[in-house]
Amino acid sequence: MVATAVTVNRAVAEGMDAADPLRGLRRLFFRADPQLIYLDGNSLGPLPAATRDYLDDVMLDGWGAGLVRSWETWIDWSRRLGDRIAAHALGAAPGEVALSDSTSVNLYKLAAAALDAAPGRRTILADADDFPTNRYILQGLADQRGLTLIPLRSDPSLGLGLDTLRDALGSDVALVVLSLVSYRSGALLDMAEVNAAAARAGALVLWDLSHAAGVIPVRLNASRADLAVGATYKYLNGGPGSPAFLYVRGELQHQLRQPIWGWFGQRDQFQMGERYSPRDDIDRFLAGTPPLLSMAALGPALDVLEQAPVTELRDKSVRLTELAVRLADEWLMPRGFRLASPRDPARRGSHVSLAHPQASLLSRALRSRMNVVCDFRAPDLLRIGTTPLYTSFTDVWDGLDRLRRLVDDRGHENLPEATSRVT
Amino acid sequence: MVATAVTVNRAVAEGMDAADPLRGLRRLFFRADPQLIYLDGNSLGPLPAATRDYLDDVMLDGWGAGLVRSWETWIDWSRRLGDRIAAHALGAAPGEVALSDSTSVNLYKLAAAALDAAPGRRTILADADDFPTNRYILQGLADQRGLTLIPLRSDPSLGLGLDTLRDALGSDVALVVLSLVSYRSGALLDMAEVNAAAARAGALVLWDLSHAAGVIPVRLNASRADLAVGATYKYLNGGPGSPAFLYVRGELQHQLRQPIWGWFGQRDQFQMGERYSPRDDIDRFLAGTPPLLSMAALGPALDVLEQAPVTELRDKSVRLTELAVRLADEWLMPRGFRLASPRDPARRGSHVSLAHPQASLLSRALRSRMNVVCDFRAPDLLRIGTTPLYTSFTDVWDGLDRLRRLVDDRGHENLPEATSRVT
């Protein structure tokens, strides 16, 4: 039996859980299946237990009873929830963050605004390995404006090197778009260093914080960040497709103008004046009517997040991924896996990627045969995501133990044909 | 007492309700306050009674238990719900309608796509009285591309004249953007005539169906419509900010390319390939991850809508607005109101606008003192919206009766100062 060779046995993980000061927070989430090991909170965060009642109240009292009158309350939610995320998770000031649209649309709006603000500069820098929607959005903007998009080559496991960025930062660069934590490797960039390098070159930086917000103590103001966007359905647990956030540094707001001139960005919106005249605050980056029910779900999700400082979440996250790396070293590397994340926890976010030639089959078999959910990312990555509000150390132990047993039992062979459009 | 002078007394309205074949559908909606007269379903449709349980199931079974695996189901909802709206409300074929983003963002995407497809043409035609977000979005596109936006003057009560449009349709016109039903006057355009006139000039037409979908039997295919967008939170009752729909005629889809190159428009989305290569169907007009809870609420809302053909809803809607006009003639015109909608029901949507110099105060007093909700639209309009699935003839009678009594009692004077950002 392979388990006898393991130095970290399950009791060690159980002890780590017993000593975890955040262990009580797991009870704030709904769990349908206590046997399920969920290591995918970085794709979709779990359901906070309070969300159902809260949403029902919004439906019953807000929509049902209040009807259109409830917009008097709802009209500011995008900013109010944005301010909460800013204060607790992003290190930004009130009035610098709002909820709006999807991450894709927000990236489009802010990137376009930044490009329009630097008409003499013709180059965009991006990470060649960045999340697809970011690369595609920038391709579109470059294509439409005749600009040059330079994809920076990054190490598949270690992420973008700061020297690579510095070498590319010339006087023609208008905008740098980077993910603080890589969706593939989990590599974590140094935000302050990047911002400083870009500022010296006169370029703006637009950060995608999707895999960072809620697990990395982001310090947008302290690191002089210009612009940021991010998903709220990952570590912020806002639910599937909950509206994304956008951040624009206070003193930049009035200098930038986004291209989608919708009525939620209009000064005196309900005066419905003849000409578009954007507000002079963060609301100028809004467009249309926000999806209120999806936005409302952020309320109880932030109630949970605010139970712990992100620095404490980060501490636990580091210990969770360290455990994952250690178990992977012992159990999985001998079985054909390769670590595809930084080994240094200071350079890593809250997930660990493991490369394996059969990762796609393994991911499907983990779900269907071992009751473990993690993500597959083509062509060969298993992404082990840890959510410090929710994931226990025994979750990590059990998940990787089941993966090891799956490989030994060849449980990923002879799977039924995949039929889903979703990996 | 003024009521003695009225020829349509309340018993007549009660008789119309008793004879209404759709009267049973009202029970499919939640009602918190039986005394409330809600004449604003064209701003926010009421809550279908089944929505709460359905949303709770989506939260519990979909998000809570299924977690990220539920995207295998959710990934097609944008099209599935779009197909239902297409079939029942829009006269469009499967694969021509999808839910996505807000009306503002969809208008931006489709207008930009249309403009890019006609690079030699430099003019956009729009209704000078169209809903603000439409005018602003088009101003933005014209500004960014150096195009000319020509606002067509329309009659404030009767809407845009077809001759005005024909006179403006020259060989330089790339795009015509119009609302099928005016958000202000309720004036209803002849879609087939407009499409034909634009087609003769070689221009595309982009329709905003926000105030039409669900109450006007829209025949997009039969009238050779090119493009359309619309809100789903009005007569479709999808809830506050539910995602909007977009329509692109089948044979046009592959010719058009929208500017926000998000991953939901990408071929083989989860392969996450290097280059953006848009799907060749309606999904190419999608951008980012849709707000799933807000989208889900469309399901039970369409269940209600599908209880009756839109032709029957239209029949009832005409009778509702005819009653409103008749009562307004008898009660309100002598009290300083003016009809600001077409008198011919064939040229009118499902709301009636009444102009009065004190409309803002009257609207606030109706809500706070008479328990009647209708909309105010600056500077002087009260919008009386009827939702044939929900509004009864006695609702119309009671609502206008309370308005008449409010004016007689001067109940709109000495109101507390308005504090809301929302009118």
**Percentage, residues of chain B above pLDDT 90:** 93
Give CA–CA dist A339/A325, Å, rounded: 8
Residues of B in contact with A63 (CB under 8 A): 44, 47, 239-240
* Tens-place pLDDT, residues A63-83: 999 999 999 999 999 999 999
Contact A71 B240 (CB under 8 A): yes
What is the number of CB-based contacts under 8 A between chain A and chain B?
A: 283
Note the pLDDT tens digit of each residue in B216-257: 999 999 999 999 999 999 999 999 999 999 999 999 999 999
Determine the Cα–Cα distance for residues B69 and A109; give it in Å rounded to an integer. Answer: 30
Output the pLDDT for position A421: 65
DSSP class per residue in B43-72: TSPPPBTTHHHHHHHIIIIIIIIIGGGGHH
Q: Strand, helix or coil at B266?
A: strand
pLDDT tens track for B315-342: 999 999 999 999 999 999 999 999 999 9
- For residues A124 and A142, the answer to whether their CB atoms sit within 8 Å is yes
Q: Do residues A131 and B274 touch, judged by C-beta distance below 8 A?
A: no
What is the rounded average pLDDT of the residues A259-282?
Answer: 92
Token match 């919106």: residue? A269
Preceding amide of A345 cis, omega within 30 = no
Question: DSSP letters along A220-260, please?
Answer: TTTTT--EEEE-SSSTT---TTPPPEEEE-GGGGGG---S-
Residue A4 has what pLDDT? Answer: 46
Evaluate if residue B186 carries a pLDDT over 80. yes
Whether B5 shows a pLDDT value over 80: the answer reads no
Q: Which of A299, A293, A99 is nearest to B299 (CA)?
A: A293
pLDDT score for A271:
85
Which of B29, B131, B183, B376 is labelled catalytic?
B131
Give the distance from residue A325's alpha carbon to the nearest chain B alpha carbon, in angstroms: 23
The predicted pLDDT at position A3 comes to: 45
What local confidence, expressed as pLDDT, does residue A274 receive?
87
The residues, ordered by sequence, that sit 6+ positions from A344 with a Cβ below 8 Å of its Cβ are: none
Name every residue whose Cβ is closer than 8 Å to that of residue B180 and which is 6 or more positions away in sequence. Answer: B188, B189, B191, B207, B208, B209, B211, B212, B216, B218, B349
pTM of the model: 0.97
Span A85-136, pLDDT tens digits: 999 999 999 999 999 999 999 999 999 999 999 999 999 999 999 999 999 9
**Residue B316 falls in the annotated catalytic set:** no
Does the annotation count B116 as an active-site position?
A: no
Count of C-beta atoms within a 10 Å radius of residue A307: 14
pLDDT score for B403: 98
B1 has a pLDDT exceeding 70: no
Q: pLDDT tier at A38 (50, 70, 90 boundaries)?
A: very high
pLDDT tens readout for residues A182-220: 999 999 999 999 999 999 999 999 999 999 999 999 999
Any idea which residue has 């895999």 for tokens?
A211
Instruction: For residue B76, list chain A residues with Cβ-Cβ distance below 8 A.
Output: 421
**Whole-number average pLDDT of chain A:** 96
Radius of gyration, CA atoms only, chain A = 22
pLDDT of residue B418 exceeding 90:
no
Q: What is the pLDDT of residues B103-155, one digit of tens each?
A: 999 999 999 999 999 999 999 999 999 999 999 999 999 999 999 999 999 99
Average pLDDT over residues A161-185: 97
Q: pLDDT band at B6, cuts 50/70/90?
A: low
**Alpha-carbon distances of B224 from A57, A399, B199, B221, B249, rounded to whole Å:** 43, 56, 9, 5, 8
What is the amino acid identity at position B139? Q
CA B418/CA B367 separation, integer angstroms: 12
Selected residue of B57, B58, B63, B235 to mutate for chain A interface (largest A Cβ count, 10 A)? B63
d(CA A162, CA A155): 11
d(CA A388, CA B63): 19
Q: Which of B29, B72, B246, B289 to mutate to test the interface with A (most CBs of A within 10 A)?
A: B289
Cα distance between residue B243 and residue A271, in whole Å = 24
Give, as one character, the DSSP assignment of residue A400: H
In this prediction, residue B189 has a pLDDT band, given cuts at 50, 70 and 90, of: very high
Instruction: Kindly state the tokens that stand for A156.
Output: 């598949």
Helix (H, G, I), strand (E, B) or coil at A155: strand
How confident is the model at residue A423, as a pLDDT?
Answer: 64
Phi, psi for B131 (deg, rounded to 5): -55, 140
Whether B105 and A104 lie within 8 Å, measured CB to CB:
no
At B18-54, the pLDDT tens digits run 999 999 999 999 999 999 999 999 999 999 999 999 9
Which pLDDT band holds residue B274 (cuts at 50, 70, 90)? confident
Please state, rounded to an integer, the average pLDDT across all residues of chain B: 96
Residue B416's pLDDT band, with cuts at 50, 70 and 90, is confident
CB contact under 8 A, A289 and B104: yes
Q: Residue A16 and residue B422: Cα distance in Å, rounded? A: 52
Phi, psi of B91 (to 5 degrees): 60, 40
| pLDDT (0 to 100) of residue B423 | 64
DSSP symbols for A321-384: HHHHHHHIIIIIGGGT-EE-S-SSGGGB-SEEEEE-TTHHHHHHHHHHHH-EE-EEETTTEEEE
Q: What percent of chain A has pLDDT over 90?
A: 93
Please determine, for residue B2, whether its predicted confidence score (pLDDT) is greater than 90.
no
Res A334 pLDDT > 90: yes
Which amino acid, A229?
Answer: V
Interface ipTM > 0.90? yes
Cross-strand partners of B172: none
Query: E strands, B270-390, where?
Result: 338-339, 351-355, 372-373, 375-377, 381-385
- CB contact under 8 Å between A272 and B52, yes or no, is no
Kindly name the residue from A84, A348, A383, A404 that is annotated as catalytic: A383
pLDDT average, residue stretch A372-400: 97
By residue count, chain A amounts to: 423
CB contact at 8 A, B395 and B46: no
- pLDDT, one tens digit per residue, over B372-391 is 999 999 999 999 999 999 99
Burial of B11: CB neighbours in 10 Å, binned 0-12, 13-18, 19+: exposed
CB-CB under 8 Å, A292 with B239: yes
| A208: annotated active-site residue | yes
Residue B28 CA: distances (Å) to CA of A118, A387, A423, B16: 54, 41, 38, 19
